Structure 1
Amino acid sequence: MKRVALVGMPNTGKSTLFNRLTGGTARVANWPGLTVELASSRILLGANMVQVFDLPGIYDLTGGAEDEQVAQRFLSEAKLDAVLLILNACQLERQLALALQLKALGAPLLIALNMVDEAKRAGITVDVAALSEALNAPVQLISAKYGQGMAECKALLTGIFSNESHQIDFSNIPSASTLHQTEKQLFQRSVHQPPILNQSATDKLDRFVLHPWLGFPLFVLMMLALFQLTYTLGTPLQDYLEAGLTWFKDGLLVPATANLPQFWQGLIVSGLFDGVTTVLTFAPIIFLFFCLMAVIEDSGYFARAAFMMDGLMSRLGLDGRGFVMLMMGFGCNVPAIMGTRVIRDHKARLLTMLTIPFSLCSARLQIFLFLSGALFSPTQAPWVVLSLYLASILIAMLTALLFKSKFKSSEPFALELPPYRLPLLSHIWRRGWGEARDFLRLATTMIVLGVVLVWLLTNYPTQQHSYAELISNLLAPVLSPIGIESTLSIALIFGFVAKEVVLGALSVITGHEGQALATQLAHTLDPVSAYSFMLFSLIYIPCVSAIAAIKKESKSNLYTAFSMAWSLGLAWMVSFIFYQSARLFGF
């Protein structure tokens, strides 16, 4: 089997090319540093079965960041048949040094100049023959986004495979600084670009997006529009799905289980079906939310949000990359925690990891969308969800401010601002479907197990004196001061395993699902109690997967325990202050 490594600087389109080559679903977004682990896939290329590896972005072969070290370690240890180097055709003046380094090491090299569509619009032309001769390696112009030049790229890749795999020798690696003059001369010979590029749409948009006064309000409005569209488009789809599931339950499932013993009928209908379907109705919401999020990510807006927030973040001991990681955490905390590898300073990484679990991830989003829809009006609900997103950012920032003296860092901040790009429908669909598919996969494993365990706890030894009641009574003195009914403690406990279980657990605990659950909660909780519950769910201990990621990245049991204790204590404190203050003022 042949082995090929995809190498390139951050945000040059490596993951897009990886997906184009392999049909994979590596996450793609228009900001640097997204890939922090190795992704691989096997494809048939000509007569060869080929394993393709997508490496983290790397500026040069001597960098010290952990994500760069991952790529360096792989290149130095793996036996490779080819290295496919991806360069941004619009930024060759500072990317050719990486090609020169790989050439000096004798790597079997194919160079793909990506984003030629953008280079053409900017008036940039590349003398491919001259560049290929100077680097002694084939060079191909491509657009990984649109598939341009991919057939030729595959043919060239097949052509450089040798009979024996090659192991790169890093012993005499030249540093990027020593290659600066050679890089400059090579660029002057091979690349032509207008001396003054016309002001592009990117520059015009940045006048508003990066404006010191308008930038943050625009960000808030952008996120509010995302939530409003999610509600407007997703609620009808959710209603149709719920109606279909209700028809299945009343028309087929209940009659089919009528003759079963009471235990099995209760477990299947009231436990398994009601619990899981309450969660499943959120699949359309998850799909739409991440489709809309993909539009923002692929456009290049989040990189600008990081740049805009860097001044504030630096006062908190973080930088703009920390804000990008918080934005990544809106999808899932786990890859965001792993993404801190792009931060070179270890203390800065630890401080950033301490803040990421407060990001409102997609699993928490399901809880908040349901409760806000059940307990607030359609005009109020998007504002409630937006307030929780802003609260998550504020709590993360206050945490950083409080602990910045313990995790001091002097690392300078540098972040590439990519041009704005129109997202492809295929990318939008892939992101939305990928998140929905992962959600459904989780629903068939962790959520099923969770709701079954909740049903057993609430029904044994008896419904009147169950284990759930015993646990609730024990936790009542802790939860009642923050307005959370003790019966909801079971849902919070299982939310520690996976936040997606919370809604299913609520369904099992109350004995209702779908709209009936919403009505029941509206009678049980008032808006103040519901918001306190949402605040606690937002802040308290992250899921098991996030804790495992913190342990892996920090390499410290003590730090992991501290992170969990801080989240749990802060959750109680914030909910207590909110609930007691609201009651004090008569709400």
Structure 2
Amino acid sequence: MKQIAVLGMPNTGKSTFFNRLTGANASTGNWPGITVDLLVAKIKIGQQDTQVVDLPGIYDLRGFSEDEEVVRRFLEHNPVHLIIIILNSTQLDRQISLALQIEQIGLPALLLLNMADEAPKFGVHVDPEAISRHLQMPVLQMSAKYGQGYAQVRSLIAERLNLQSEPLLAGKIDVNLGSDTQFAAKMGALLQDGFQVSPVRDTLTTKLDRVLLHPVFGLPIFFGLMYLMFQVVYTIGKPLQDWLNTGVEWFKTTAVEPLLGFLPPFPHDLLIDGLYGGMATVAAFIPVIWIFFICMAIVEDSGYLSRSAYLMDAFMERLGLDGRSFVMSLMGFGCNVPAIMGLRVMRSPALRLLSMLVIPFSLCSARLNVFIFMTTALFSTRVAPLVLFSLYLFSFGAAILTAFIFKGKYPNQEPLILELPPYRFPTIRQMLLRAWSETKHFLRFSWRFIIFGVVAIWLCNNLPANVEPASAGTISGQIGQALQPILGPIGINPKLSVALIFGFIAKEIVLGGLAVIYATKQDAGLASTIARDIDWVQAYSFMLFTLLYVPCLSTVAVIKAESKSVKFALLGVFWSLALAWIASFIFYQGARALGF
């Protein structure tokens, strides 16, 4: 099987090209010589079975970040038939150095100058033939976003794979890279022959930046857009969720219950009320996750995410962080795990550690499911988006407080270097692919935890068999009552307590657990049943605690692996627990004192 590695700098459209080439059917795989998983997809190019590996975005093979180390070790330990280098045509003067380094270490390569459709708007003129002569490798212009030139690129990839019968290793990269003087001379000659820039009038990017990066109005606009995103998620996602929930309930009544009707009561109830009920409740939130990631695709692919880092950098610097920490916190809205792994681009160990303490407070998609459900059950349609947005602000507040408290322990002196790409609106295909990829990841990653969690909660709720289900005499009832001295003062009753305990495994279990716990005694809808059991103050305290308390088990494991310290991972666990309890206690007791 032929092996291709895709390499490029951040914000060059590398992931867009990888998704177009592989059809977004990638999975993660282990590789000799490195300790992290990389995206990989197996496809057929021409007549060749080919494995395509998406390497982390890097700036320099000589760099010191962990992502740059990952790329070096991959190339040194894993032979490849072809390196596909993705660079931004509009920023070639700052990016061509990476292609020169690949040429110096002697690996078979193909250079793709992406975003060719944008280059003329910025007065950029590129001569691919001249660049090819200097680099001794094929050079093509293309637009991964719109597919311009893609057919020619795919044909050339197939041709190069046929010519390269044996894979090659990079050898010792630091040794093979030439002297800085020779490198600078070659780069200067290449740019002189193959890259020219003509003056242009104000572009749409410069006009928008005057408003969106305004020193006074920039941050209010950003938070306003974030509120608008939650409004869109709630307004569009909620009706879709109701429709899917109706379909799931219809399927249960017409198919699942008749099919399993022959079973004795205990396994019958376990499969229907426990397994199906819990999983169906979580599955009903797939439309919400889908809409959320479509919105996030717009924020990220438009170039606005990099600008949010720029806007927040001065403030984050006072907390010992930088704009990248803020971006990774936003990325944590999808899942905290990849956001923490993305911290490898930071060279400062102290900055990475402090960011690891901050990111778990991001309102991830699993928590979002819980919050949308609770806000729908306890608040009006007019108030619910505001409640959701307030939790988003609380997540920022928790991150800011954490950074302020621990910045002295993890001091950082690394400056921020940030590329601001031109504004571009993602295509519908890009948005749908991103939403599908993230939803698929959510389901694949979550189902095993959900199945374990809802079954375990159902068993706790129905054992011992000689007591009334969900009563104080069951295992769950005993656990909930035992925790009341701790959770009672913050308004969390015994039933909610059990869901929180299993939520430590994965936050997706919280909602499935509530479905199991509250569906045991009453046949009414879950939302109305919970609304009768608790009031809005208890609900908000529960959501606040869910937002801030212990990150899921996978996040804790990644923190331990990335920090290489069990002690640091435990610090993150105990700090989040303490902060969650204090914040919920202040809110709950304060609201009760005010008569709510």
Q: Do the aligned partners of 1:3 and 1:81 also contact (CA within 8 Å) in 2?
A: yes
Share of identical aligned residues, percent?
49
The residue number in structure 2 matching 1:96 is 96
Write out per-residue CA displacement over residues 372-405 of structure 1, whole angstroms, 9 at most, x where no aligned residue.
1111111100000001011101101110010000
Taking a change above 3 Å as real, the CA distance of residues 176 and 155 of structure 1, as seen in their structure-2 partners, is farther
Q: What is the Cα deviation at residue 77 of structure 1?
A: 2.0
Corresponding residue for 1:32?
Answer: none
Describe the SS at the equivalent of 2:426. Answer: coil
SS state at 1:422 partner: coil
State the number of aligned residues: 578
Output the TM-score relative to the length of structure 2. 0.93
Aligned partners of 2:120 and 2:453: how far apart in 1? 54
Measured at CA, do residues 265 and 50 of structure 1 come closer, stay the same or move farther in structure 2, by a change above 3 Å? closer
Distance change in 2, residues 1:184/1:197 (3 Å): farther
1:290 and 2:293 matched = yes
Q: Any idea what the Cα deviations from partners look like across 1:83-123, whole Å, max 9, x if unmatched?
A: 21111111111122222222222221211111100113223
Contact between 1:37 and 1:70, CA under 8 Å: does it hold in 2? no
In 1, Cα distance between the equivalents of 2:289 and 2:583? 28
- 2:545 aligns with 536
Matched, 1:217 2:220: yes
Rate the CA distance shift 1:548–1:443 in 2: closer, same or farther, 3 A.
Answer: closer
- Pick which of 520-529 and 172-181 moved more: 172-181
The Cα offsets for residues 165-210 of structure 1, whole Å up to 9 and x where unpaired, read as 222232231366752343223212111221x222111111111111
- Could you say what the CA RMSD is over the residues aligned between the two structures, in angstroms? 1.9
Q: Which residue does 2:136 correspond to in 1?
A: 136
Residue 30 (structure 2) aligns with: none
SS of alignment partner, residue 53 of structure 2? strand
* Partners of 2:167 and 2:42 in 1: CA distance: 17
- 1:261-280 correspondence to structure 2 within 5 Å: 261-280=264-283
Q: Which deviations, in whole Å up to 9, do the C-alpha atoms of 1:437-462 show, x marking residues without a partner?
A: 33444564321221111111011102
Q: Which residue number in structure 1 is paired with residue 589 of structure 2? A: 580
Once the two structures are superposed, the pairs formed by residues 381-392 of structure 1 within 5 Å of their partners are 381-392=384-395
Measured at CA, do residues 261 and 48 of structure 1 come closer, stay the same or move farther in structure 2, by a change above 3 Å? closer
Q: Say whether 1:187 aligns with 2:191.
A: yes
Q: Which amino acid aligns with 1:68?
A: E
Relative to structure 1, the CA distance from residue 177 to residue 562 in structure 2 (aligned partners, 3 Å threshold; closer, same or farther) is: farther
Are 1:467 and 2:469 counterparts?
Answer: no
Q: How far apart in 2 are the matches of 1:142 and 1:176?
A: 30
The equivalent residue for 1:518 is 527
Q: For residue 256 of structure 1, report the CA deviation from its aligned partner.
A: 4.3
Q: Which has the higher contact order (CA 8 A, sep 6+)?
A: 1
Letter in 2 for 1:192: Q
Residues 208 and 37 (structure 1 numbering): CA distance in 2 closer, same or farther, change over 3 Å? Answer: farther
Q: Give 1:584's aligned amino acid.
A: A
Instruction: Choose from 182, 191, 203 the match for 1:200.
Output: 203
Deviation at 1:26, TM superposition (A): 6.1
Distance 1:257 1:152 in 2: 55
In the alignment, is residue 168 of structure 1 matched against residue 170 of structure 2? yes
Q: CA deviation at 1:318?
A: 0.1
Matched-pair contact (CA < 8 Å) for 1:60–1:176 = no
Question: Structure 1 residues 24, 405: closer, same or farther in 2, change over 3 A?
Answer: same
Change (3 A) 1:398 1:514: farther
Which amino acid in the other structure matches residue 437 of structure 1? K
Corresponding position of 1:568: 577
**Per the alignment, in what secondary structure is the counterpart of residue 113 of structure 2?**
strand
Distance (whole Å) between structure 2 residues aligned to residue 37 and residue 419 of structure 1: 30
Q: Quick check: 1:62–1:175 contact (8 Å CA) kept in 2?
A: no
TM-score by length of 1: 0.95
Does the Cα contact within 8 Å between 1:18 and 1:26 map onto a contact in 2?
no
Alpha carbons 1:497, 1:543 under 8 Å: kept: yes
Q: Give 1:506's aligned residue.
A: 514
Distance, in Å, in 2 between the alignment partners of 1:308 and 1:345 is 21
The equivalent of 1:551 in structure 2 is: 560
Whether the 8 Å CA contact 2:26–2:41 is kept in 1: the answer is no
- SS of the aligned residue for 1:4 comes to strand
Equivalent residues of 1:10, 1:57 under 8 A apart: yes
Distance 1:175 1:17 in 2: 32
Question: 2:426 aligned with 1:423, yes or no?
Answer: yes
1:477 and 2:485 correspond: yes
Aligned partner of 2:52: which letter? V
Compute the displacement of 1:272 (Å). Answer: 2.1
CA distance in 1 between partners of 2:213 and 2:524 (Å): 43
Q: Matches of 2:401 and 2:523 in 1, distance apart?
A: 36
Do the aligned partners of residues 237 and 205 (structure 1) sit closer, same or farther apart at CA in structure 2, a change above 3 Å counting? same
Contact 2:289–2:365, Cα closer than 8 Å, also in 1: yes
Unaligned segments of structure 2, at least 5 residues: 28-35
